[in-house]
Amino acid sequence: EAGVTQSPTHLIKTRGQQATLRCSPISGHTSVYWYQQALGLGLQFLLWYDEGEERNRGNFPPRFSGRQFPNYSSELNVNALELEDSALYLCASSLEGALRNTEAFFGQGTRLTVV
Amino acid sequence: AQSVTQLGSHVSVSEGALVLLRCNYSSSVPPYLFWYVQYPNQGLQLLLKYTSAATLVKGINGFEAEFKKSETSFHLTKPSAHMSDAAEYFCAVSRGPSGGSYIPTFGRGTSLIVHP
C-alpha cells in the first residue's frame, strides 16, 4: 500500500513568487494536515482539510492557502514568497478527522527554498 | 490551549546506555499523546501513542513512554541505545478544548545523539 506522497521533493523559488506543493494521502484517508518545519522551530500547524473542506488553520498569514480535491489529495499554495518561508513542508493524513486516537501518517516532505 | 514542551534540544548518550527524552504537556482536557521519530531527510514515523488506556505505553524499536497525569509528563525511554536510534524525536498532544477540534500540537523536537 502506498504511503503519503508529496511532490516535488525540492522546490527553489525566488522571493515574491508563488509555490504550489502537492500531497496524496493514503488510500481511504479523508483528512489531510499541512505543517511547516522550519529549522529549530519544530512542526507548526498550517492547515487541516477533511472531506474537501478546510476545518482549521494555524497562525499563518492568508498568503498560505490550499484546497482538498474530491479524491482527497491536497495542494498547499504559498503566495508572495518571503525568505523566511524556506522550510520543510510536511503533509500528513489520517482516517478520521483531527487524529482523535488514530495515527497520522506523514509524507517525506517538500523542501522549499526561497532565494 | 494545549501545548508541549520538550526539555533539551539535544540529548547525547553512549551506545547501550539508557535513553530518556522528556516531554511535558498542558491541556485543559485529558490528552491524547504521541511520540514520533524523524530520520534525516524523511517524514515523521509514529513510535507510540497514549489514548487514555494503559498509562505505560510500549512502542516500536524498544521504546516506551509513561503517562503521568500528576506531573503532566509523557517521557520517552529506551533501556539500551543503539546507533540506529540517532534521530529527531517529537512529542505531540492532541485533544481539543471543547471536543470539537483535535489539532495535534508538536514540541520543538529533541535530537538524540548516540556515541559508540
Q: Which residue of A35, A93, A99 to mutate against B (max B Cβ within 10 Å)?
A: A99
pLDDT at A89 over 60: yes
Under the banding of pLDDT at 50, 70 and 90, the label for residue A100 is low
- CB–CB of A98 and B104 under 8 A? yes
pLDDT value of residue B102: 65
Query: pLDDT band for position A9 (50/70/90)?
Result: very high
Residue ranges in chain B whose pLDDT is less than 50: 96-99
Q: Do A90 and B44 touch (CB under 8 A)?
A: yes
- B92, closest residue in chain A (CA to CA): A43
| Rounded CA separation B78/A10 (Å) | 34
Average pLDDT, chain A: 91
Q: What single DSSP character describes residue A25?
A: P
Tens digits of residue pLDDT in A18-72: 999 999 999 988 889 999 999 877 899 999 998 899 988 999 999 999 999 999 9
What is the pLDDT, as a whole number, of residue A20?
98
Number of cross-chain residue pairs from A and B with Cβ atoms under 8 Å apart: 62
Hey, are the CB atoms on A33 and B104 less than 8 Å from each other? yes
The minimal CB distance from A43 to the residues B46, B101, B106 is found for B106
Grid cell locating B12: 547525547
- The answer on pLDDT for A86 being more than 90 is yes
* pLDDT (0 to 100) of residue A95: 77
The Cα-based distances of B33 to A49, A53, A66, B74 in angstroms read 21, 26, 27, 8
Q: Do B102 and A108 touch (CB under 8 A)?
A: no
Proportion of chain A above pLDDT 90, given as a percent: 74
Find chain B residues with C-beta within 8 A of A34's C-beta.
none
State which amino acid sits at residue A25.
P
Give the pLDDT score at B98: 46
Cβ neighbours of A115 (radius 10 Å): 10
Q: What angle do CA B42, B43, B48 make, to 5 degrees?
A: 120
* pLDDT number for residue B97: 44
pLDDT of residue A42: 84
pLDDT at A90 over 70: yes
Nearest to B101 among A33, A40, A56 (CB): A56
What's the confidence (pLDDT) of residue B30? 72
Name which of A42, A56, A109 is nearest B90 (Cβ-Cβ).
A42
Local structure of residue B59 (DSSP, 8 states): -
A-chain CB neighbours of B49 within 8 Å are 101, 103
